[in-house]
Amino acid sequence: MKAIGDYTIIQIEVNTSSTGLQVKNDGQGIVYSCPSHPELRGKRVLFDDNHNYKEYENYLIIPYKNLMAVISNV
């Protein structure tokens, strides 16, 4: 799978809290594909989670402009 144009594909993780609640989208994930900025691939990023994004399996497809920060390398 590859993003097109100014879109970014973010791999999201399912986290389980201490109470057993599963949180799927907490505003961060790992860049899987970003054609406009390929150096971001594999980096953990924060994104604006106040929007609705297209989801496919464990991936979100979001506009690049909604990325907010690079947290770390994975």
pLDDT for 72: 85
Within a domain: 51: yes
Let me know if residue 34 belongs to a domain.
Answer: yes
Query: Does residue 53 belong to any structural domain of this protein?
Result: yes
Residue 51 gets which letter from DSSP? S
Quick check: 3 and 33 in contact, CB under 8 A?
yes
State residue 74's pLDDT score: 64
pLDDT of residue 48: 93
Tell me what pLDDT residue 25 has.
66
Establish if 1 belongs to a structural domain. Answer: no
Could you list the residue range(s) of the whole structural domain that residue 22 is in?
Answer: 7-68
pLDDT tens, 7-48?
999 999 877 778 877 776 688 999 999 999 999 999 999 999
Task: Kindly state the tokens that stand for 32.
Answer: 């899987």
Q: How many domains would you assign to the chain?
A: 1
Contact yes or no for 61/9 (Cβ under 8 A) = yes
24 residue type, one letter: K
Domain membership flag for residue 57: yes
Phi first, then psi, for residue 66 (nearest 5°) are -90, 0
pLDDT of residue 38: 95
**Is there a domain that residue 73 lies in?**
no
Longest CA span, the chain:
40
In a domain, 31, yes or no: yes
